[in-house]
Amino acid sequence: MSITPPVTELNIKLANRGFYKGFNQVVTLGSKILIVVLAIWAAVFPDQAGGLLKTMQGWSFESFGAWYIYAMAFYVFVCFFLAINPATGKIILGDENQKPEFSTFSWISMMFGAGIGIGMLTFSTAEPLYHFASNPDTISGVVAAQSDETLRSVYKWSFFHWGLSAWGCYAIVGLALSFFTYNRNLPLTIRSGLTPLFGKKLEGMLGDVVDISAVIATILGVAVTIGFGISQFAAGMYTISGADWMINAEGSPTNTAMIIALVVVMAASILSAASGVGKGIKWLSNINMVLSFALLLFFLVFGSSMVALKSLFVGILDYVINFPIQAMTYWANSDVEPAATLYKWQSIWWTVFYWAWWIAFAPFVGLFFARISKGRSIREYVMGTMLIPSLMCFIWFAFVGGSAIDLELHGTAAGTILNAGQEAQLFATLKVMLSSGAAKAMSVMVVVLLMTYLVTSADSAVLIINTINSGGDEKQKDKTHVIFWGAAVTVLIAALLIAGGLTAIKSAMLVGALPFSFIMVLMGIALIKALVRDGMRAREEDSGKAVSEKNLEATKS
């Protein structure tokens, strides 16, 4: 019985005239309406919006915490299975003779900058310091908090959050889109990744809903990333300038400081987005990779190198050994200790929040990965998008976070780093390590680096949103559409900051991430189905050729 041919065409309805020429109006207007309504609601009724979003966040944690844990494990498994399997790993994303568009350095730079660059600057210090005081091993009583013995557990959990799970989340979306776009000639948009399951139904409302979900998740995921980034940006500007109006009584950046930083960053990102991937984004990515290595080299030379190296190698070993258990462990809510605190740590404070953040960021980063990965094999793609960025994060966390912990562990910092807000802990570390003038100079470099990461993430997101809205058309869009989405993201972040600060932004993101987490699981299943059926078709074709040759020989004889 012949296997049905794959879907190689999706006719996504696009406007052929007017302001929305080349765009799917249902997806574009649907996304705009939802974002504008959310922004107006948060701005006009900030207390109500902040309260409801926080309630919905709690519901999401309670009801879907386990789903997030197991879904993320599924993404990693699928990516590695397809890379390791000889039959699928060698498949080229594109024509067999297709050459990659970007050099390996630029490819990795753009992935890293668009992926987790901003969060890494904030959390490479903040997360190890937090886990130094509290992590599942200290909560369970396995090790004592804030001691030499705590270091191993610090990195086991830090690496877990910033390693294969995070990058596998992005990789599976990008891999599905790369395959269906470059090997099946389908549009470079999220709905294409579901064609083996839903076929031509994706040309209509079902596909529109999928793409709208991706746009909303992208905007909210980027909002969280930029929210963290501008908070640290404002803290850095305070460190450099000493302007008291930038910091409130609790020592955190004021909303005024963050909104000014937001406007500056988004204005620069709109200009960069208007120049396209091959110009502004590529060059900014290369610049922030160079600056990242410069900052890393500083900590390598002047930081606690021995502690960092030990933490890096032992941490990677512990992470690899414990990953299967960590990836599949879920602590349910409980009234009994330590289970109650373990639930809060995993579902409210750390793991589930991270998983939702990565998922919300995945349509943007995944589509961006697909956009820049044509010509790579599946094996090369998975290794390049998962292993190299994970290793970079591990090195950052070991050297930057390890230096901060060592300064606190031996009393040099005297609590100044631990007591700083998470957005200011990197700058506090520099203050302890250097003289006042040198610390300011290094803080300037960090602020510039942060600026490049912020602009790269924001402008990439604007381009991806327009790609999804236009049914996968990668061509440069009219600058009006670039400006609108840049402004929309700016207004939404500002409104959510007013409604409840970073907490409101995180709550909104968690709500937006949930629908897309289901779409991502379906994309993984669809990709496996497509590759399996391609293998079956190939065997069927080979079998048919063998029968034909046999019949030909029989006829001759």
Which CA distances in Å does 30 have to 26, 37, 191, 207, 325?
A: 6, 11, 16, 13, 41
Q: What is the DSSP letter of 385?
A: I
3-state DSSP assignment of residue 21: strand
N-to-C CA span, the chain: 29
Rounded Cα distance between 308 and 395, Å, is 8
Residue 543's pLDDT is 67
What is the per-residue pLDDT across 200-240, written as a single tens digit (0 to 9) for each?
A: 999 999 999 999 999 999 898 888 888 888 888 899 999 89
When pLDDT is cut at 50, 70 and 90, the band that residue 280 belongs to is: low
Average pLDDT on 495-511 reads 82
Residue 163's pLDDT is 92
Residue 548's pLDDT is 62
Q: What is the DSSP letter of 16?
A: -
Residue 224's pLDDT is 85
When pLDDT is cut at 50, 70 and 90, the band that residue 103 belongs to is: confident
The token duo for 179 is 């395959």
Residue 482's pLDDT is 83
When pLDDT is cut at 50, 70 and 90, the band that residue 469 belongs to is: very high
To the nearest whole number, what is the mean pLDDT of the chain?
86
Of residues 114 and 439, more confidence is placed in 439
pLDDT for 75 beyond 90:
yes
What domains sit in the chain, N to C, each tagged with a CATH number?
30-539 (1.20.1740.10)
Residue 471 CB neighbours (<10 A) = 24
Residue 325's pLDDT is 94
Q: Which of 128-132, 280-284, 476-480 is predicted least confidently?
A: 280-284
When pLDDT is cut at 50, 70 and 90, the band that residue 527 belongs to is: very high
What is the per-residue pLDDT across 167-190, written as a single tens digit (0 to 9) for each?
A: 999 999 999 999 999 999 999 999
Rounded Cα distance between 115 and 288, Å, is 13
Average pLDDT on 260-270 reads 84
Residue 189's pLDDT is 93
User: What is the pTM for the complete model shown?
Assistant: 0.90
DSSP H helices in 95-248: 104-115, 117-133, 136-139, 150-162, 164-182, 195-198, 205-241
Strand pairing partners for 253? 247
Average pLDDT on 295-307 reads 87
Rounded Cα distance between 63 and 251, Å, is 34
Residue 292's pLDDT is 81
Residue 455's pLDDT is 81
Rounded Cα distance between 341 and 359, Å, is 25
Average pLDDT on 96-104 reads 81
Average pLDDT on 402-418 reads 88
Residue 187's pLDDT is 93
pLDDT for 1 beyond 60:
no
Rounded Cα distance between 222 and 460, Å, is 10
pLDDT for 114 beyond 60:
no
